[in-house]
């Protein structure tokens, strides 16, 4: 760690962590991000200095809170907002069960909130659902105790234009918090010529109410706007003089920036957290980031009662602000599966419907009992994932798996979504039931099959992450490796970040461990000795 005070490096939370929302509670900062189709939902990060963040829990940890079954990529839990009011913590969000933007086919979900009086204990209430549909829910408590709910959904009166724009706009109503019922008709308070106004956050400073909105969509046109009102959350609203508040373009090192939320530190300094992506420049061309959308931090000031974010300048990887410092993000991580419960940071694809793993049946191992769904099925397979947070890293695990049928497999995977992934695993040969083989299923190209030398040895599986993903293995007998790592194949980052034909690529790359049967459960467990990034 550098001692150079006042400069810091973005993103502050690397890897798949979009749509950040933040509060300060005493000397602690808490920040939540979107989780989409993954369980548990809505990660909570904690910091005391805005630079060093630690995952401390999740908001949605029970099936009664989040039961997401077969969403398209990009479905599930969208942008959450965290707020504290009179000592109680609230998180509001929404869950998309159907999201097919290619056909303009979506079911507008009801929003909800959950609450807790002890954010450290991690026991959040079951959801209280709102009457109002939409996404990007925000609650604002006015001085008289009135609670306002703002949310985004399509305007009922469409904009007459060709081609037709999305007409996603901000609507607001008052709400009875205990029941979630609206107590006023929703009012349209912000639409955008771009067709998308979302990510609303309302705050009050002095005599003004401020409405912040993310506009232009979350892709290259993404930006942040502000309006203010002296009357209240229903408006009328006056647009800011310097909208958008900054603008990053398609030639910048950080792109797609927006969806900001705000916090005041103990010294009275204002800060904004926002999402951005870090594309990779290859031969003068920008390629998609494997991390998806990440969490960035920039300073904020006020001039003539208007916010100025990052001095109105573009968001960059290297920034400065009072009291901050340089922090080198940790790459190394290892789980030896010695705890009684899974360590924080493991995710399931969708809500699991039954327990299919054990940390106690074979102590010091993660034992997976493969379920009947392969990795290509849009439900919850026996799959445990972790977020990739560094460009250059090596992921590896050691696996003991001795299948008795050619219909089962266990291994490790680079995961974008159920339509795009690359896996390397152990199974039985379909032509010789007495021979174990290694199977590499790349996101592009043909499956690679290799014979293993033994029928019962452990196999160490290795994935190198960098300018591409490279897959290798080595057999292990009594702790001794049989030769060196044998490299089987590689997959380009471009192939791994393909846009899905249905849904949207709103998440980031993950790596994980899996076991499955093909329409049948595995009767033989897969034991993973450890998993690590290095």
| Residues noted as catalytic | 19, 198
Instruction: For residues 422 and 434, give the distance between their C-alpha atoms in angstroms, rounded to a whole number.
Output: 26
Strands 420-428, 408-417: pairing kind: antiparallel
In angstroms, the Cα distances linking 175 to 50, 137, 215 are 32, 12, 25
The residue written with tokens 């990739």 in the block is: 388
Instruction: For residues 307 and 210, give the distance between their C-alpha atoms in angstroms, rounded to a whole number.
Output: 9
Whether 14 contacts 324, CB under 8 Å: no
Tell me the β-bridge partners of 281: 286
Whether 460 contacts 452, CB under 8 Å: no
The residue written with tokens 């467990």 in the block is: 525
Instruction: For residues 59 and 54, give the distance between their C-alpha atoms in angstroms, rounded to a whole number.
Output: 15
Instruction: For residues 195 and 159, give the distance between their C-alpha atoms in angstroms, rounded to a whole number.
Output: 9
Classify each residue of 238-264 as buried b or exposed e, where b means 16 or more C-beta atoms within 10 Å of its C-beta: eebeeebbbbbeeebbbbbbbbbbbbe
Token couple for 23:
């509060």
Instruction: For residues 493 and 278, give the distance between their C-alpha atoms in angstroms, rounded to a whole number.
Output: 13
**66, 43, 65, 39: which is closest to 56 by C-alpha?**
43
Type and span of the H or E element at 493: helix 493-496
268: left (phi over 0), alpha (psi -120 to 50) or beta: left
Give the single-character DSSP code of 36: B
The residue written with tokens 């039954």 in the block is: 354
The residue written with tokens 């696996």 in the block is: 399
Tell me the β-bridge partners of 526: 368
Nearest-Å Rg of the Cα atoms of the chain is 24
302-308 own/partner pairs: CB under 8 Å, 24+ apart = 302/205, 302/270, 305/205, 305/206, 305/208, 305/228, 306/226, 306/228, 306/240, 306/241, 306/242, 307/210, 307/212, 307/226, 307/240, 307/245, 307/262, 307/270, 308/242, 308/245
Whether 492 contacts 416, CB under 8 Å: no
């Amino acid at each position: 760690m550098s001692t150079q005070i006042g400069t810091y490096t973005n993103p502050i939370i690397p890897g798949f962590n979009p749509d950040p929302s933040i509060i300060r509670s005493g000397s602690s900062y808490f920040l939540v991000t979107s989780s989409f189709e993954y369980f548990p939902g809505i990660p909570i990060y904690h910091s005391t200095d805005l630079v060093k963040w630690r995952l401390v829990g999740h908001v949605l940890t029970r099936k009664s809170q989040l039961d997401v079954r077969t969403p398209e990529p990009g479905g599930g839990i969208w942008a959450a907002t965290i707020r504290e009011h009179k000592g109680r913590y609230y998180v509001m969000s929404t869950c998309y069960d159907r999201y097919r933007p290619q056909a303009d086919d979506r079911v507008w979900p009801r929003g909800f909130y959950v609450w807790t009086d002890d954010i450290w204990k991690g026991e959040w209430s079951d959801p209280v659902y709102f009457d109002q549909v939409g996404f990007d829910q925000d609650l604002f408590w006015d001085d008289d105790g009135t609670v306002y709910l703002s949310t985004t959904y399509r305007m009922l009166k469409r904009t007459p234009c060709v081609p037709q724009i999305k007409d996603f706009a901000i609507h607001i109503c008052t709400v009875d918090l205990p029941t979630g019922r609206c107590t006023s008709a929703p009012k349209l308070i912000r639409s955008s010529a771009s067709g998308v106004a979302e990510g609303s956050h309302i705050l009050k400073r002095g005599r003004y109410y401020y409405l912040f909105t993310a506009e232009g969509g979350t892709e290259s046109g993404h930006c942040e706007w502000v309006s203010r009102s002296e009357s209240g959350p229903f408006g009328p609203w006056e647009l800011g003089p310097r909208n958008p508040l900054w603008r990053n373009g398609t030639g910048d090192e950080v792109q797609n920036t927006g969806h900001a939320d705000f916090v005041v530190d103990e010294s009275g300094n204002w800060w904004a957290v926002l999402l951005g992506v870090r594309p990779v420049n290859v031969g003068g061309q920008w390629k998609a980031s494997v991390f998806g959308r990440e969490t960035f931090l920039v300073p904020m000031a006020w001039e003539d009662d208007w916010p100025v974010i990052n001095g109105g300048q573009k968001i960059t990887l290297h920034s400065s602000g009072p009291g901050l410092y340089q922090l080198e993000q940790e790459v190394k991580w290892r789980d030896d599966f010695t705890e009684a419960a899974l360590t924080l940071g493991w995710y399931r694809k969708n809500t699991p419907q039954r327990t299919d793993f054990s940390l106690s049946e074979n102590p010091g191992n993660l034992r997976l009992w493969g379920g009947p769904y392969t990795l290509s099925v849009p439900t919850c397979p026996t799959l445990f994932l972790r977020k990739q947070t560094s460009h250059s890293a090596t992921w590896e695990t050691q696996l003991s798996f001795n299948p008795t049928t050619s219909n089962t497999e266990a291994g490790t995977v680079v995961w974008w979504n159920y339509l795009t992934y690359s896996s390397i695993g152990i199974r039985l040969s379909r032509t010789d039931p007495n021979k174990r083989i290694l199977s590499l299923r790349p996101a592009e190209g043909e499956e690679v099959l290799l014979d293993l030398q033994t029928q019962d040895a452990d196999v160490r599986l290795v994935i190198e992450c960098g300018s591409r993903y490279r897959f290798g293995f080595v057999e292990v007998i009594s702790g001794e490796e049989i030769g060196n790592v044998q490299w089987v194949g590689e997959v380009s980052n471009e192939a791994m970040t393909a846009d899905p034909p249905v849904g949207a690529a709103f998440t980031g790359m993950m790596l994980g461990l899996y076991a499955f049967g093909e329409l049948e459960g595995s009767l033989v467990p897969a034991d993973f000795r450890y998993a690590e990034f290095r």
